[in-house]
Amino acid sequence: MSKQTILVTGGLGFIGSHTVVELLHASYDVVVVDNLNNSRMQVLESIRRTSGKEIDFYPYDTRDEKAMKEVFEKHPNIAGVIHFAAYKAVGESVAEPLKYYDNNIYGLVALLKQMQINGIKAMLFSSSCTVYGQPEKLPISEQTPLKPAESPYGNTKKMGEEIVVDATKTGAFKAISLRYFNPVGAHPDGFIGELPIGVPQNLIPFVTQTAAGLRKELSVFGNDYPTPDGTAIRDYIHVVDLAHVHVKAMARLLNNEGPSYDVYNVGTGRGYSVLEVIEAFERVSGQALPYHFAPRRAGDVVQVYADANKAEQELQWKAQYGIDDMLRDAWNFQKNILDETHILNEKES
């Protein structure tokens, strides 16, 4: 049987690049469309280095109908689509809501239309634990009621899921929404990881950049939460574990198992406070992290962690990496980027 081909939109981004590597390891052929809005061309080379394999890459925008038509025509054997391409900065989405609806909603609808035209039968949609807000009960299962979105970004994930559900009702294709908790870390080989452009908004990149001396001090947002140490709790999930669940979920769809639409939480089931993350970072890196307490960040929830049993039972997937692995790999990647920058600077001088 010939290899199956998967189209990955946003495949040079943080989660996309790790997923591409795992798809290649699982012997799929991979086509990536990424407009490089939040990624760099060097990721393509890093994917080659990590996987030892080649992919087909198109620097196109998923909203560009003509360009996407060309991709599907060049690759008539595409069996499934994994849709990562979206904007993801919560604060920016409040300031520029239409930018978010245009990319995350129009981009999704445009892709679904192309899938329909080309008879694609399987799709994975990147959703987020943000759709649950702060639930009454923990852990959060897939049955936990959804809350009104706190931001336009969160709303695009909620609406995105609804659009995908409706589109599957025609029977044209099957889809799974994966609700990621807090994706962090980097590939253990140290060549691919999270490359935030500008000042990081998320905790782990801020921690590693502070330890690397690029930022002066970490602000811990809030130490008066109703949690054991007063800081907020999240379910951090290693990006390689997250990449694996995409391979499992895609296989389920391609094998025509399960209902036409389904949803899975993707987390470890264990929450860590910000102070616990700092302690773990100091343990694995062997260095002290400068931090101070600052006021709570607007819009932050107190505590979330997943009930990830559904993914374990139905996808035979369970997180393998713990918090120390996540921080060790994020830190190794951070050090590698600095080394590379250093080498580049040396070459230039």
By the rule CB under 6 A, 300 interacts with ligand WQD? yes
User: Does residue 101 carry a catalytic annotation?
Assistant: no
Q: Is 221 in the site for ligand WQD (CB under 6 A)?
A: yes
Interaction of residue 336 with ligand WQD, rule CB under 6 A: no
Among 141, 201, 309, 336, binds ligand WQD (CB under 6 A): 201
> How does DSSP assign 160-183, residue by residue?
HHHHHHHHHTTSS-EEEEEEE-EE
Residues 6+ apart with CB under 8 A from 25: 51
Paired tokens of 98 = 């239409």
In angstroms, what is the minimal distance from the CB of 266 to ligand NAD?
9
Contact criterion met (CB below 8 Å) for 43 and 84: no
Query: Residue 218 in 3-state DSSP?
Result: strand
Q: Which helix (H) or strand (E) holds 127?
A: strand 122-128
| Residue whose C-beta lies closest to ligand NAD | 13
Contact footprint for ligand NAD (CB under 6 A): 9-10, 12-16, 33-39, 61-63, 84-86, 88, 103, 107, 126, 128, 180, 183
Contact call for residues 238 and 184 (beta carbons, < 8 A): yes
Residue 318's φ and ψ, nearest 5 degrees, are -150, 140
Q: How far is the CB of 162 from ligand NAD (least distance, A)?
A: 15
* CA gap 92, 156 in Å, rounded: 13
Q: Which of 60, 100, 101, 153 is catalytic?
A: 153
What's the rounded Cα separation, in Å, for the pair 34 and 109?
17
| 239 lies in the site for ligand WQD, by CB under 6 A | no
Q: Stretches 44-52, 94-102, 198-206, 239-247: which one binds ligand WQD (CB under 6 A)?
A: 198-206
Least Å distance, CB 182 to ligand NAD, is 6
CB of 219 to ligand WQD, least distance (A): 5
Whole-number Å distance between alpha carbons of 67 and 58: 9
Residue 277 C-beta: closest distance to ligand WQD, Å: 7
Q: In this complex, which beta carbon is closest to ligand WQD, that of residue 11 or of residue 205? A: 205
Alpha-carbon span 210 to 204, nearest angstrom: 10
Contacts with ligand WQD by CB under 6 A lie at 88, 90, 128, 130, 182, 201-203, 206, 218-221, 232, 234, 274, 297, 300
Q: Which residues are catalytic?
A: 153
